[in-house]
Structure 1
Amino acid sequence: MPGSGAVLLVDDEALVRSSTADMLTELGYSVIEAESGEEALRLLDQQSPIDFLVTDHLMPRMTGTQLIAEDRRKRPGLSVLIISGYSEAEGIDPLLSRLTKPFRQAELGQCMAAIAASSALHG
């Protein structure tokens, strides 16, 4: 099943962000890219609608977990996925949907579909 919706993708590494954006686009999502948590917060304030927030965890100045916590004050129902190269990284809320790097497009698609299904059940 193809994906749909707008994804705000946040990663401080340009190559990883570009690769993940390509995967999401091929899966059927429209993608808005940000290279930092601060930029993502600005885009979240400006862009509407955004259906998903997909963020790296370890980034300078603001982790993905901090970004999600900050954003949930404004958009409590936003669907989120945190991506980390460290499967048990300190500071990641265990209740957050998580995908470990490196990952394949099929794994990303499965995570996005599960998040969308969960959001539909609870939203």
Structure 2
Amino acid sequence: MINTMTSSGGTAVQDLPKVASGVELAKSQIQAERYRGEKIKTIGGIEIRWVKAVKMGPPGADITTASVKACYDTSKARAVDSTGKTIRVPGTPTRWLDNRDLQLIGGVWKVVKGKNQGASC
């Protein structure tokens, strides 16, 4: 959904509540607002290198929370301004380690907390 939102310049946000809640939904909506305001969009996509579950919970009950870790590559994606000029700051990492906490909300898994960092994964 984030790829869809960023490639649309922050206008395709209707599905964000289907995949995120709480702080993560608010962060995504703020990012979309910034993309619209600064007339930024992305061209190209990210490549997911790997994903793994790192925690499921609560133990001994129905699983309603999970944590996942993923490595993704943004080298084929570009953020551009309204003139098409690349706005990536030199030295920005192109490999990212992403950690996300998910929660089962109304029968749907949603991201509720997350953090990413540049990493050689």
The TM-score, its normalising length taken from structure 1, stands at 0.26
Larger Rg: 2
- Whose helix fraction is larger, Structure 1's or Structure 2's? 1
The TM-score, its normalising length taken from structure 2, stands at 0.26
- Whose strand fraction is larger, Structure 1's or Structure 2's? 2
